[in-house]
Amino acid sequence: MTKLRFTLRSILLFFLFIPLTASCQVNDKENSFYVASWNVENLFDTFDDPYINDSEFLPESSKEWTEDKFQNKLSNLAKVINYMNDGCGPDILGLVEIENLNVLKWLVYKFRDRDYVIVHRDSPDERGIDAALVYDRKIFGIVAIDTIRVEIPTGTPTRYILHATLRHLTSNSIIHYFVNHWPSRRGGEVKSEPNRIAAAKTLRRVIDKIQLDEKDPQIIIMGDFNDDPDNKSVEQVLGAKKFECNDQFSNNEILNLSYKKFSAGEGSYLYGAKWNMIDQMMISASLLQGNEIQYNCESYEVIKPEFIIIQEGDLKGAPLRTYAGSRYLGGYSDHFPVGARFIYSEK
């Protein structure tokens, strides 16, 4: 068993080919691609992994997590993902809170009209939840992949930051993607803040090195940060700024696509009666100013299809989740996805 687990941890890529069908004309999205990010809320399989604490999501647990419920969760997630990008699905999708490569394979199998590739690696998180990236290999090619270990003050093992470097095949541009799932606010926002500051410092160091080694690198940062755009970890430590599309910046600055909608009261996650924008997307300013690939200004959105939204009661407007405690609701996730469009010029 130890040898098997080591093998799984050593997997960097899993290529899964699905024949393209005619249900969505992806090529109609001329000279643009769509990037999305989603915390899919405890996407666990039903098998006991002795190396992680997955006891909450097993058939014999209080949640009675069965194969039928797992398959329903996959179908629900696929319905939302297919909704993105005007019904074509995203070209790049960051995913967090997934248990392993197996659940990703099951999820990707649902998309028979896209040629998706999975980028994944097991993290040291005690519950075994990971970050992953899915991309369409008709649009992108893999250049490199790395995992960034985050050491937090409590010493508790936490999720890797996934770093995937891809080449956009049409423009021949290199883009660095970072998929994040920063430490939670368990124990309270103030008490837990040093853990997220540690994650922000770790990511900032990696970005600084890339910007030192490369001229005007193109960077897209996404995921669940468990902090809002104006929190210290994001705005001050990582340095992700609020901006307007006609502003001028040095190419090495980080701009927060989520900040404007957050300031207007929108959010991706409802806690109590307050909306938080803890699911965010950020870019290097090089993607705003005249490169082969540019952010399509004002395209950032919180993705809220009507069928995912609770329509009445105290949680009206929130996404319908899979469980409320141990009570099965059969929903989607407790987070809304977020997404943005990027335009490119052909070489």
Residue range 241-251, pLDDT digits in tens? 999 998 999 98
Which residues does residue 272 pair with via DSSP β-bridges, in sequence order?
A: none
Average per-residue pLDDT for the chain: 91
Q: Residue 6: its pLDDT value, please?
A: 32
pLDDT confidence tier of residue 319, bands split at 50, 70 and 90: very high
pLDDT, greater one: 27 or 75: 75
> What is the pLDDT averaged over residues 194-211?
98
Using the predicted structure, report yes or no on whether residue 92 has a pLDDT greater than 90: yes
Q: Residue 272 — very low, low, confident or very high, per pLDDT cuts 50/70/90?
A: confident
pLDDT at position 20 is 33
pLDDT band at 21 (very low <50, low <70, confident <90, very high): very low
Q: Domains plus CATH for the chain?
A: 33-344 (3.60.10.10)
Confidence band for 346, pLDDT divided at 50, 70 and 90:
confident
C-beta of residue 339 within 8 angstroms of C-beta of residue 34: yes
| Residue 53 reports pLDDT greater than 60 | yes
Decide if pLDDT at 4 tops 50.
no
For 284, counting Cβ atoms within 10 Å of its Cβ (0-12 exposed, 13-18 middle, 19+ buried), the class is buried
Residue 278 pLDDT > 50? yes
User: Could you write out the three-class secondary structure of the chain?
Assistant: CHHHHHHHHCCCEEECCCCCCCCCCHHHCCCEEEEEEEEEEEECCCCCCCCCCCHHHCCCCCCCCCHHHHHHHHHHHHHHHHHHHHHCCCCEEEEEEECCHHHHHHHHCCCCCCCEEEEECCCCCCCCCEEEEEEECCCEEEEEEEEECCCCCCCCCCCCEEEEEEEECCCCEEEEEEEEECCCCCCCHHHHHHHHHHHHHHHHHHHHHHHHHCCCCEEEEEEECCCCCCCHHHHHHHCEECCCCCCCCCCCCEEECCHHHHHCCCCCEEECCEEECCEEEEEEHHHCCCCCEEECCCCCEECCCHHHECCCCCCCCCECCCEECCEECCCCCCCCCEEEEEEECCC
Q: Tell whether the model's pLDDT for residue 13 goes beyond 90.
A: no
